[in-house]
Amino acid sequence: MATSDSVDVDNSKGASPDWSDEKAGQLVDLIDTVKSRTTDNVVMIARAVVYGLVISVLVIASVIILITVLVRIADAYLPIGSGVGDAVWAAHAFIGGLISVLGLGAWMSRRGEGSPKPLIMAAIFDGLVIVAIAVYGSIQAFT
């Protein structure tokens, strides 16, 4: 019984020296193609959902904190009542009114050719209301 450690292949006719490497490469390419069309897309969608949820939670928390701070500032500086805590209803009404005006401006600008005019006008109106109340409060403080 004779065993041979190597096999002598005649490659004089231009045949591939190692067909197993070629087939393995084709198999790897096929697996990469299937992975890029399925798994990569699912991973991208999952990441988008997770990041979207995290950003949503952070935005909601930030809006709640911002509204709370605005109500506290309005409660302290609105010229209604005699001190902090006496006019909380006015602070709530004031901040709610400002947010409602901005919401109305956004609602009115939802149609059209993308014109943000109503929203900009609502923001300008809110700014004027805030300035007017600040001026009135300053006048009341110095008299």
DSSP 88-104: HHHHHHHHHHHHHHHHH
The average pLDDT across 34-59 equals: 91
pLDDT tens, 19-42?
888 888 888 888 888 888 888 888
Model confidence at 94: pLDDT above 70:
yes
Instruction: Considering only residues 23 and 140, tell me which one the structure prediction assigns the higher pLDDT.
Output: 23
Q: 74: buried, middle or exposed (CB in 10 Å: 19+, 13-18, 0-12)? A: buried
Contact present, 118 and 128 (Cβ < 8 Å): no
Report domain extents, the chain.
Answer: 37-142
Cα–Cα distance between 131 and 102 in angstroms, integer? Answer: 16
Q: 94: buried, middle or exposed (CB in 10 Å: 19+, 13-18, 0-12)? A: buried
